[in-house]
Structure 1
Amino acid sequence: MATAEPISKVCLSSPSAIERLYKSCDGGRGDEVERVLEGRVTQEDRTALANYKSKETGFTPLHRVCHHGHHQCIPPLLKQNADPHIWDHCGFAPIHCAARGNHTACVEFLINSRDCDVNEKTQFGETPFLIACLSGSLEVARYLYDSGGYGEEDSRGNNVLHYAAASDSAQLLLWLLSIHDFKALIDSPNNEGHTPLHHACALGCTNSLSALLHHNVIVSSLTPSTTHLLHPSSSSHPHTLSHSEVSKSVLQLLVTPRSQGNQQCWRKSAPGGH
């Protein structure tokens, strides 16, 4: 992770420049972004302004345009050495903001710039591909995957199917499960022993639940308290119920109080104030 350069005294003496840049970024006015930056006297000032971090959110101008999906503002920022590796206060680099918002054009601009890493990680080890899957952004997920993005586990042991299950997008999950390497992860637990099916149940994601059951997820891996989902068997490897019976039984889990802890580990919406 890079840290933003402290903005120079020249820039600080002109807060109107910062305000104008923010307003231009939020409004998607690439020409105005370029004018504001070119209006600084030295390259040092232009670079500092292009990397200025909001005290409230940690957003740089590049974060702001990626959050809003204004890809036309990215080139003038990169021209003035805007750093694509800086984290905001939530540990997101600009490309994570673009992936979270389903802004394919922004992701494409960043990946095609020489300094951006398609597998840039957050403070929790999340790649843009994982964030796109968490947001249910199939188009962005496909683009990242085709560009070399991968879904290795984050620092908590969650794999790409954990993230996709939390999005409740059956379409996204079915696409991932059509890829052999990802389908092999269908029953993989995270560091707390939770599988993607746990996440679908805990978060009330019925579309994800349906997609996982369609691919014969091992329901017996849920918890010791869900042994009623299994046929009685003398074998040490009990047989699972039929698809319809399993669906009905597992859906009973969805009416139980949802775990606050499980929900807190997912960042499905942008932090306020951006």
Structure 2
Amino acid sequence: MSSIIDWISQHRHSNYTVSSELEEFFTAYHRFIGIVSISANSLHLYLIIEASQFYTRGYRFSLFLLQVWFIALNIHLSLFSIPFPLYPLFGAYSRGLLGTHFNVSFHYQMTILIFIVDECIASLLMCSLFRQQSLILGGRLKLTNSQLVFLILALHLALVTNAAIFVFIDIDLDDQLDLLATKYPGLEWISSHGFVWAVYAWNSGSFFFLLSIFFQCLIIGSFAAMVVRYTIMTVRRQRRIIAKRKDERLKKKVRRVDTLVISQSETPIP
């Protein structure tokens, strides 16, 4: 990974500074997008609560939880931690309240961000799972309430491991400064910039973090493909059943009409 970063950064002695005007513009942009997104998600949250009769209880709860985590994500990215990447190195600095007012380490801000993203993905998978279960009338794929709760908890715990692993991939401040001085002197300005920042190096912790994401994408992708395939098959089967029932009702009506016509034709004229 470090060789790839070095290849990308062929002009490593360049000064990768960011103008204050550009920082202010993107900070205002993040806050504007955050206000729009929070307003839209709050409206969706209200509609989910009011439209309770249109959903099952589990599906409505998963939709509710998904909107809550979306709102938390927008608040974190637009108010608490506004990240600015440190190209070409894997790192960033924060202009949010956690960095400028509360002096919270940017590494922990990133950990919170990864945790919220993990919960958004888990809640989205919950929605798919409850939707799938609502389509299943019976059989081996129909889960009991206890099995459903166990699967949901396992899903959340499996995704939260990303944030748990990310906690241990940070490096000491002296190592970060040495990394900037030896490999990326064009980024040494960040040490005196006045914002909370963090840079990362390729180590065993980052390897396990990326490996965890890879396997989770593989498992989640397989699960999503299975849910979509089963949903399509179920909808097609239900359409065939409905069409068959319509044909049977139409045949019964035709037979009743034929019987009525025959009975009337056989009735003697007085």
Q: Same fold (TM over 0.5)?
A: no
Structure with bigger gyration radius: 2
Place the TM-score, normalised by the shorter chain, in its bin.
under 0.3
Q: Which has the higher helix share?
A: 2
Q: Which has the higher strand share?
A: 2
TM-score between the two structures when normalised by the length of structure 1: 0.22
